[in-house]
Structure 1
Amino acid sequence: MATANQRRRGATLEPGVPAESGNGIRPFLRHHPVVSYYILVFAISWGGIVLVMGPRGMFSTGATMPMVGGVMLTAGPSVAGLSMTVLVDGRAGLRRLAAGLRRWQVGIRWYLVALLTGPAVTGATTLGLSFSFQEFRPNFVPAADAFGLVAAGLALGLMVGLLEELGWTGFALPWLRRRFSVLITGLIMGLLWGAWHFPMFGGTTDPSGTLPNLLVVVVFLFAWLPPYRVLVVWVYDRTQSLLLAILMHAPISATTFVLAALGSEATSGVPLVIPVLIWGAVLWLIVGVVAWVNGGRLTRR
């Protein structure tokens, strides 16, 4: 029998258990929370983009999608997550979300992992490639402009991280972890996370025509997002901190924004996908090292 402390912990940090049966939408949502959540996310995000931009909005890029399209896309995970939390778990679910947001005393090492993993991988890759490819050498910008660029990137990263992780980590992750390991949970979430980004990469093409456009889009969506999501799941599994998941998401959005703004020339051909493939390889290497250090497993003992 669970102790009083265990019952209190379950009420705030673990998803509830569907409590009712019968016909109708609400019983279905309660018994299939993860499937329902992702259906709702894609409906809100992709449906919103089509509503405000038309079908062509599904084949945009990060540079061509207007702000309203970006807002519609990133609002999907949080709106769906909060809605499903209320429908499935009620006030207990909202308390669980609030507890995760307030959980900040997790140790400095976890903040270093959350804040530095993404920028270190992307920054080191870009720096290394700049010695071999002219396209990856950043433009020089005055100090004042650089400060404004970094500030804009950080603001964007925090906003995107909050809007997405309220749903991805706040709702979907705890439910998936009831059934799957950290690795499998991360893979499921990472693949769906990549597919969800399609409107921001669906219009990406190779200017030289060397690479098929479909190959370019697949690399951009699935080469590095799944391993990074595995690391986010691992960090959350060890800390139970939704705040840390938001902070881990923010730097990758900020770094991508800053590097794109500093790019000196448009890449094409094989150089177009090289950095993304390297990001993925390095992130999978980090996942492997973490598992090796922990005796071949990512799941908390």
Structure 2
Amino acid sequence: MNDDARAGKGSGLATFFAVTFTTTWGCWLVVIVLGEPPTTFPAVIPFLLGGFGPVFGAMAVRIRRRRLGEPVPVHTVRFRLNVRLLWALPLLVPAVATVAGGAVLAQALGGPVLSLDAGRALIATAGGAVPFFVGMLVGGPLAEEPGWRGTAYPRLLASMGRFGAALVLGVAWAFWHLPLFFMTGTVQAGFGLVSWSGLLFTLSVFPMAMLTGCAYELGGVPAAVAVHFGVNATAAVLNAFSPMTQAVVLVVQLLVAVAAIALRRNASVTVVDGPGVRLRHG
């Protein structure tokens, strides 16, 4: 049996995806049936629980591993304090820049004029800057990245490389968001599933999967959280949701992501996905 086959065997990916999708889609279906905005009670409870589906998937993988007596996989970065974790804050800058730069370029190309008015109103609605940004951090990056990047990415990387891992996670991530298009009061429902904005939002997860994957390799889950948070928060504050702006931001992020992966093509990442399986990817 070759290394790739051994790496995929018993990796826990099936468990991760099954628990992640069952938890998220089950909770979000409740919100859809309630027909209320996810910020209102009681819809907010299943909405928040559903957002943590990837974390529940990651927990299920770890419980399964302990039950089977498997060793802890060697991922890119351990949870203990590590110098690589210092990448988290610096990576906020390029994450913000991809959205802000794309929005500025879209305006220069004839798109919507940039304005902070919608962003200020959104922050005010949330009760101020602190609750707004805390909500943005917890409701997306912290609820997702321990699963998508901290659990699924290194296991996929062991068998298919960076582009392959990003592609598979991009597809899974796009489908995972699908219920949001049918949920009253979400940004995705405002776009509409069959629309340019809905299509561009769906496509945007692919460069995001690449960017957060590279961030994970540099600084682990905290770095992936930082990139995810930087992109989401900047898009919300700048109201960068017109089709023109979405399209330009997507292209900018795709170019940056491809460049980032190309620059890391010779960088080695050690991944262990089962007893005695140790692979190095460059």
- TM-score scaled by structure 2? 0.72
Q: Give 1:102 shift.
A: 2.7
Mapped partners of 2:236, 2:22: distance in 1: 26
Structure 2: unaligned runs, 5 residues or longer: 1-5, 183-187, 270-281
CA contact (8 A) 1:205 1:216 kept: no
- Highest relative contact order (Cα 8 Å, sep 6+), 1 or 2? 2
SS in 2 for 1:213: coil
Alpha-carbon displacement from aligned partner over 1:10-40 (angstroms, at most 9, x marks no partner)? xxxxxx979xxxxxxxxxxx83621331122
Query: Structure 2 matches for 1:1-301, cutoff 5 A?
Result: 31=10, 33-54=12-33, 67-89=44-66, 100-106=78-84, 110-111=87-88, 114-130=91-107, 132-134=110-112, 136-139=114-117, 149-159=128-138, 160-202=140-182, 204=189, 213-222=194-203, 224-239=204-219, 241-260=220-239, 272-294=242-264, 301=282
Paired AA for residue 213 in structure 1 = V
Q: Give 1:281 shift.
A: 0.7
Q: Give 1:184 shift.
A: 0.9
Alpha-carbon displacement from aligned partner over 1:122-150 (angstroms, at most 9, x marks no partner)? 122233444644564332859x9699644
Paired AA for residue 43 in structure 1 = T
CA contact (8 A) 2:136 2:233 kept: yes
Mapped partners of 1:124, 1:149: distance in 2: 25
Alpha-carbon displacement from aligned partner over 1:22-76 (angstroms, at most 9, x marks no partner)? xxxxxxxx8362133112211100111113441868xx8999x953353033111
Mapped partners of 1:168, 1:75: distance in 2: 11
Mapped partners of 1:102, 1:148: distance in 2: 34
Residue 148 and residue 100 in structure 1: after superposition, are their counterparts in 2 closer, same or farther (change >3 A)? farther
Mapped partners of 1:129, 1:38: distance in 2: 36
Q: Give 1:80 shift.
A: 1.5
Q: Give 1:226 shift.
A: 0.8
Greater displacement, 133-142 / 195-204: 133-142
Output the aligned Cα RMSD. Answer: 3.9
SS in 1 for 2:189: coil
Size of the aligned set, in residue pairs, is: 253
Structure 1: unaligned runs, 5 residues or longer: 1-15, 19-29
Q: 2:277 — aligned with what?
A: none
Residue 68 and residue 128 in structure 1: after superposition, are their counterparts in 2 closer, same or farther (change >3 A)? farther
Larger radius of gyration: 1
CA contact (8 A) 2:174 2:202 kept: yes
Residue 68 and residue 135 in structure 1: after superposition, are their counterparts in 2 closer, same or farther (change >3 A)? farther
Q: Percentage identity across aligned positions?
A: 16
